[in-house]
Every structure is written in C-alpha cells, then in structure tokens.
C-alpha cells in the first residue's frame, strides 16, 4: 500500500509580501543539499487517521511548536511524491520563529555499515521564504501546494 503523509504550509503576509515556512530535512543525506531539498513540515499517517490531525501533530513534532488553532485551514489537496507516496497539505496563516526550532530526532546507522547508531534531528532548519525563493528551495513535486495556496487566497 502506498504511503501517505500530511503536512501544513504556514504562510504570513499578503500580496507581494506573502511568505511561506519551509523546513530542511536533517540527517547526513540532506546536509549539503539546499536547492530543491526543502519541504512543508509533514509526516506519515494511517488510512483511518484524519489527515489534518496528522498534519497538526507532525508540525508540532518537527518544529517543536503547535500551529495556530484555526477553523480556517485551507485544503491544498494532494500531490504524488517519488516512491509512490502521496502528500496531502493544508495551509494556515501564522507565525513561527525559526530560531525556536526544536525538532524530534531519528536514529540512523552512520556511517553506513559502521555499526554506529547516531541521532539526527528530523528537521535541521526552518525558514520563511518569499514565493519566488520558495519555488526554488522546495522539493519540485511540492510546488503545486504553493500555487494552490495563492489560488485559494485569491478566491
């Protein structure tokens, strides 16, 4: 069965000053990657789980801070990632100070085949980006979430 993830695209400002919050994955594989490596905060969920509840939980786990409580989450739909994973996203207006990032950690054998387990943050950085820069930084298959956010805010 294909894996499913849910996430939140937080935004602030409006018009030409609109910015989105993206996260950079932690761990050695992503350490030297920047362009096309950032993502919305997200995580996997089970079929019977509510995607928005998962997105809220994952946001808090990856950033160390809950997203705003709001009745105004904008459904950004789904995109297909490489490897048969589907991501569903929601947008919400809010603010987050990237200096306060406190991500959960994961264990990984590093270096490979060394027998040494190391702990890495799931997210090592968070930053606000203008839409033009966000399109460069974000994983290419997540760009439609930015387009859908703009369309949803202009309705």
Maximum Cα–Cα distance across the chain:
54
pLDDT of 32-88, one tens digit each? 999 999 999 999 999 899 999 999 999 999 999 999 988 889 999 999 988 789 999
Could you tell me the pTM of the whole model? 0.94
Q: What's the rounded Cα separation, in Å, for the pair 18 and 24? A: 20
CA dihedral 94, 98, 102, 104 (to 10 degrees): 80
> Mean pLDDT for the chain?
94
CA dihedral 98, 145, 87, 60 (to 10 degrees): 20
pLDDT of 132-144, one tens digit each? 999 999 999 999 9
């Amino acid at each position: 069965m294909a894996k499913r993830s849910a996430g939140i695209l937080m935004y602030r400002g409006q018009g030409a000053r609109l910015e989105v919050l993206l996260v950079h994955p932690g761990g050695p594989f992503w350490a030297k990657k920047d362009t096309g490596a950032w993502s919305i905060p997200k995580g996997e969920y089970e079929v019977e789980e509510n995607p928005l509840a998962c997105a809220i939980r994952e946001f808090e786990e990856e950033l160390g801070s809950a997203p705003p409580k709001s009745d105004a989450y904008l459904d950004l739909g789904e995109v297909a990632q490489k490897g048969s994973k589907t991501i569903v996203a929601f947008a919400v207006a809010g603010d987050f100070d990237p200096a306060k990032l406190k991500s959960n950690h994961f264990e990984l054998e590093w270096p490979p085949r060394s027998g040494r387990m190391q702990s890495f943050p799931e997210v090592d950085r968070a930053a606000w980006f203008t839409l033009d820069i966000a399109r460069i930084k974000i994983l290419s298959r997540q760009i439609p979430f930015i387009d859908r956010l703009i369309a949803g805010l202009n309705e």
